[in-house]
């Protein structure tokens, strides 16, 4: 597994809110090691057996947390993230609709502090059998040796479900986020999977817009020895059409499904035409 492992000690920012409390319960039920919650003004309260603190600094001092998942509303997400970047190694930003200029500032700050950012606008990360920092339904995942990295939460669920129903488990599944500006990119995650002894094959799920899949293809050619399978959504999307995600916009010949598929296939990546094909492709490896 990558990023989320037995040594991850997580705190939840926004644990007392509607979304935060709902998903914290789901994460705890799955066995995730959540050691603290943070909501300013709510310090001293408890969420089940989890202590709530007013600040990240207090929470880290008391619990040695090293990761955070953020359920803070968009207008306050940048400040919340800045606070977590100061003290933590990994930050998962679930929040949607964060302004692009805020996301740019978040990524700049994270680079200065060597903090890993997953998201924003991500379903999170799950390492089956270890835990999840995210909002994904856990019953569709099972322990195994295939890594999934995706720009789409829904397609992550579809692929994991297809695999699990056919006896193929996953090492880690990670959504990098659907916004134009995100933390982790495909290449960085592919490199982690390449060096992960628990991952034998990788599934990359892309979509129209941007050039992250083309960059991933360049990286795969020179750096990845494990088999990579892929799927690109939005094959029938017309130019200039926005498809769900803010990052899924085609401009000119860049960012089309065709250009992404060609780039991946040119470096030996098998590209599925529909999600249901992935199981057969994995079984042939």
Q: Is the pLDDT of residue 136 over 70?
A: yes
What is d(CA 177, CA 77) in angstroms, rounded to the nearest whole number? 15
Q: Is the pLDDT of residue 251 over 70?
A: no
What's the pLDDT score for residue 231?
Answer: 97
What's the pLDDT score for residue 238?
Answer: 58
The one catalytic residue among 23, 97, 139, 245: 245
Q: Which domains does the chain have, with CATH numbers?
A: 10-118 (3.40.50.720), 136-283 (3.40.50.261)
When pLDDT is averaged across residues 261-268 and rounded to a whole number, the result is 96
Strand pairing partners for 10?
34, 67
Q: Which two tokens stand for residue 110?
A: 């994270």
Question: Averaging pLDDT over each range in 160-164, 179-183, 249-253, which range is the top one?
Answer: 160-164
**Beta pairing class for 170-175 and 228-233:** unpaired
What's the pLDDT score for residue 240?
Answer: 56
Strand pairing partners for 148?
173, 203
Residues 92, 96, 97, 102: what is their CA dihedral angle, to the nearest 10 degrees? Answer: -10
**88-118: per-residue pLDDT in tens?**
999 999 999 999 999 999 999 999 999 999 9
User: Over the chain, what is the mean pLDDT?
Assistant: 93
**168-217: per-residue pLDDT in tens?**
999 999 999 989 899 999 999 999 999 999 999 999 999 988 889 999 99
State percent of the chain over pLDDT 90. 88
Q: Is the pLDDT of residue 239 over 90?
A: no
CA distances from 251 to 27, 232, 254, 265 (A): 39, 17, 6, 21
Q: 3-state DSSP call for residue 236?
A: coil
Q: What is the pTM of this model?
A: 0.93
**25-62: per-residue pLDDT in tens?**
999 999 999 999 999 999 999 999 999 999 999 999 99
Q: Lowest mean pLDDT: which of 19-28, 59-68, 250-259?
A: 250-259
97 is catalytic: no
Q: Is the pLDDT of residue 159 over 80?
A: yes
Helices (H), 118-182: 153-165
Q: Which two tokens stand for residue 116?
A: 């890993």
What's the pLDDT score for residue 189?
Answer: 98
What's the pLDDT score for residue 281?
Answer: 97
Spatial CA neighbour of 189 closest among 215, 209, 161, 157: 215
What's the pLDDT score for residue 141?
Answer: 98
When pLDDT is averaged across residues 157-174 and rounded to a whole number, the result is 97
Strand pairing partners for 47?
50
Q: State the greatest distance between any 2 C-alpha atoms of the chain, in Å, as a whole number.
A: 57
What's the pLDDT score for residue 161?
Answer: 97
What order of strands is seen across the sheet that includes strand 270-272?
131-134, 124-127, 170-175, 143-150, 201-207, 228-233, 270-272
Q: Lowest mean pLDDT: which of 27-36, 218-227, 252-261?
A: 252-261
């Amino acid at each position: 597994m990558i990023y989320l492992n037995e040594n991850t000690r997580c705190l939840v920012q926004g644990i007392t809110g509607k979304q935060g409390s709902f998903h914290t319960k789901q994460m705890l039920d799955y066995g995730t090691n959540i050691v603290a919650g943070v909501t300013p003004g709510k310090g001293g309260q408890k969420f089940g057996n989890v202590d709530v603190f007013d600040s990240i600094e207090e929470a880290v001092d008391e619990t040695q947390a090293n990761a955070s998942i953020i359920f803070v509303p968009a207008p306050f997400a940048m400040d919340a993230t800045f606070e977590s970047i100061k003290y933590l190694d990994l930050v998962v930003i679930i929040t949607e609709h964060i302004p692009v200029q805020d996301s740019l500032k978040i990524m700049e700050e994270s680079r200065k502090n060597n903090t890993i950012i997953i998201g924003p606008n991500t379903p999170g990360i799950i390492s089956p059998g270890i835990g999840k920092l995210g909002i994904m339904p856990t019953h569709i995942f099972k322990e195994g040796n295939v890594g999934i990295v995706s720009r789409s939460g829904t397609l992550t669920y579809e692929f994991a479900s297809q695999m699990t129903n056919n006896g193929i488990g996953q090492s880690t599944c990670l959504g990098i986020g659907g916004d134009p500006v995100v933390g982790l990119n495909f290449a960085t995650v592919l490199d982690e999977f390449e060096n992960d002894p628990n991952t034998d094959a990788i599934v990359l799920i892309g979509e129209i817009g941007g050039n992250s899949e083309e960059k991933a293809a360049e990286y795969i050619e020179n750096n990845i020895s494990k088999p990579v399978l892929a799927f690109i959504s939005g094959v029938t999307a017309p130019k200039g059409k926005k498809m769900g995600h803010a990052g899924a916009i085609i401009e000119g010949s860049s960012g089309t499904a065709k250009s992404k598929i060609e780039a991946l296939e040119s470096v030996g990546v098998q590209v599925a035409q529909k999600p249901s094909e992935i199981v057969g492709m994995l079984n042939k490896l």
